[in-house]
Amino acid sequence: MSHLNTQPLRFITAGSVDDGKSTLIGRLLYDSKALLADQISNLNKTKTTGDVIDFSVLTDGLLAEREQGITIDVAYRYFSTAKRKFIIADTPGHEQYTRNMVTGASTAHAAVVLIDASQIDFEQDEVQLLPQTKRHSAILKHLRCPHILVAINKMDLLNFDENKFNAIVRAYEKLAAQLNLQDVKFVPVSALNGDNIVHKSQNTPWYQGGALLEILEELPVGEAVQTEAAAFHLPVQYVLRADGDKKDDFRGYQGRIESGSISVGDEVRVEPSGRISRIQEIISPNGAVSQASVGEQITITLTDDIDISRGDSIVSAASQTLPTKRLRATLCWFDERALNPARKYLLKHTTQTVFAKVSGIDHVWDVHTLSNFSDQSTLNMNDIGEVSISLQKPIMATAYAQNTATGSFILIDEATYHTVAGGMILVEETEDF
């Protein structure tokens, strides 16, 4: 097994409602022999008179999902082949549940975007994709999903017509160019019948690529924006104090390293105070260690007593990241109530929560024209806009392109505690405090 395939691949299914996302995942699990005997037995009970299995029951677990025939929540499934382990997130296609799709896509290495070929009007000179397909693709772009696999589904209903497949490919290639999507692959499939899902289909002799599973098995997985080469950054999650007298006065700072690495004796800076100290001890879940790197949960102690609380950050002394109270960000609005620029919201960033106000809307993305317009004074549910945000207290933010953990946030309604938006930071402006 190559090094690229040793890490589990997290991927999501995306696209419009009824494109067949849940069916595709069910067929993928069934044909790759990743189901238990009782699951297969339950599947066989769903067979209709035409001996057709309802594969969506494997992922649509909520009663409301089965009753309405749509996916509402994000369903996670785990399976493995001889080449790789996978974590699948089946996300909703309905516009009302776009926020759940964002949740699933935020940690994905790849996305399978389904397009229902039977819903496309081929009478037009240039075929048009459905709005939700465009919206999900835009979200994947803003979330910097590195790999897009476009599964053009229900090709059996079009008699596996190569010309119609190519027409859809051209339409999505145009969308990909407008969104600047980089790695895009196309597969003609029939999720219900299993064509080109796990095995190459004899119904598409004109298709030269691999089956969907084969492509997924070979995709590289990298943590390019969160490497050990980046500056050390530890958002403090908890301050640990041990009982005892002054002789045994232990004060440790717990959290997950979001970028870089650290060693005992390294010089660090505490923000937002700007105080300088050195690492005295690093404690991992397995005991004391001399160094730790990105992704590890650790407790550290410093050589100096400094006032540090949850939400503060400990960074390498040479880090160029500075506290900021102003952000420019891409905002995906989730709430049924529109953004109120006059209101304050709670902004949760890493381990810190501060009051925030959207001080300006620069432009909003139009899902129909694939362009931006600037004459909108608010954001409605499922809108994607570029905004300016003012914060009551400074945070240690980076651009999302630099680090997804320290470059993302959510907005929370102070009254209801509903998550109303998810944001990806474009620029952080430093200030003097």
**Domain containing residue 201: CATH number:** 3.40.50.300
CA distances from 420 to 16, 92, 153, 232, 350 (A): 22, 18, 33, 31, 17
Q: Are residues 159 and 182 in the same domain?
A: yes
Range in 25-39, 57-71, 242-256, 354-368 the model is least confident about: 57-71
In a domain, 3, yes or no: no
**Dihedral over Cα of 221, 223, 229, 232: its sign:** negative
Pick from 281, 297, 316: which residue ends a domain?
Answer: 316
In a domain, 226, yes or no: no
Q: Are residues 253 and 203 in the same domain?
A: no
CA distances from 197 to 88, 208, 267, 295 (A): 14, 14, 52, 33
Q: Are residues 246 and 282 in the same domain?
A: yes
In a domain, 336, yes or no: yes
Q: Are residues 281 and 306 in the same domain?
A: yes
Range of the structural domain that residue 364 is part of: 324-425
Tracing tokens 């994905």 back to the chain, one arrives at 108
pLDDT of 256 strictly over 90: yes
Nearest to 93 by CA among 204, 195, 8, 17: 17
* CATH for 334: 2.40.30.10
Give pLDDT tens digits for 126-168. Answer: 899 988 888 888 888 888 888 999 999 999 999 999 999 999 9
Q: Based on the structure, what is the number of domains in the chain?
A: 3
In a domain, 432, yes or no: no
**Dihedral over Cα of 253, 254, 257, 262: its sign:** positive
Q: Is residue 184 within 8 Å of residue 168, measured between CB atoms?
A: no
| pTM beyond 0.85 | no
| d(C-alpha 343, C-alpha 390), whole Å | 12
234 DSSP β-pair partners = 314
The three-point CA angle 283-288-291 to 5° equals 75
Q: Are residues 149 and 245 in the same domain?
A: no
Q: Are residues 212 and 237 in the same domain?
A: no
Return phi, psi of residue 100, to 5°. Answer: -70, -35
Per-residue model confidence (pLDDT) at position 74 = 56
In a domain, 276, yes or no: yes
In a domain, 433, yes or no: no
Pick from 218, 252, 271: which residue ends a domain?
Answer: 218
Q: Are residues 204 and 275 in the same domain?
A: no
| d(C-alpha 153, C-alpha 194), whole Å | 10
What is the β-pairing status of strands 9-15 and 85-90? parallel
Give pLDDT tens digits for 324-364. Answer: 999 999 998 989 899 998 999 999 999 999 999 999 999 88
Amino acid occupying residue 266:
D
Q: Are residues 303 and 339 in the same domain?
A: no
Q: Are residues 213 and 355 in the same domain?
A: no
pLDDT of 68 strictly over 70: no
Residues 58-72: b if buried by 16+ CB within 10 A, e if exposed: bbbeeeebeeeebbb
Give pLDDT tens digits for 206-240. Answer: 999 999 999 999 998 865 444 556 899 999 999 99
In a domain, 335, yes or no: yes
Q: Which two tokens stand for residue 293?
A: 């790197």
3-state secondary structure of 217: helix
Q: Are residues 273 and 382 in the same domain?
A: no
Q: Are residues 372 and 301 in the same domain?
A: no
Pick from 218, 248, 277: which residue ends a domain?
Answer: 218
Question: Residue 72: pLDDT band by 50, 70, 90 thresholds?
Answer: very low
| d(C-alpha 223, C-alpha 109), whole Å | 9
pLDDT of 78 strictly over 50: yes
| d(C-alpha 67, C-alpha 61), whole Å | 11
In a domain, 227, yes or no: no
| d(C-alpha 82, C-alpha 209), whole Å | 20
Question: Residue 291: pLDDT band by 50, 70, 90 thresholds?
Answer: very high
Residues 11-33: b if buried by 16+ CB within 10 A, e if exposed: bbbbbbbbbbbbbbbbbbbbbbe
Q: Hey, which of 19-33, 37-51, 402-416 has the most confident mean pLDDT?
A: 402-416
Nearest to 111 by CA among 9, 222, 223, 16: 9
Q: Are residues 246 and 311 in the same domain?
A: yes
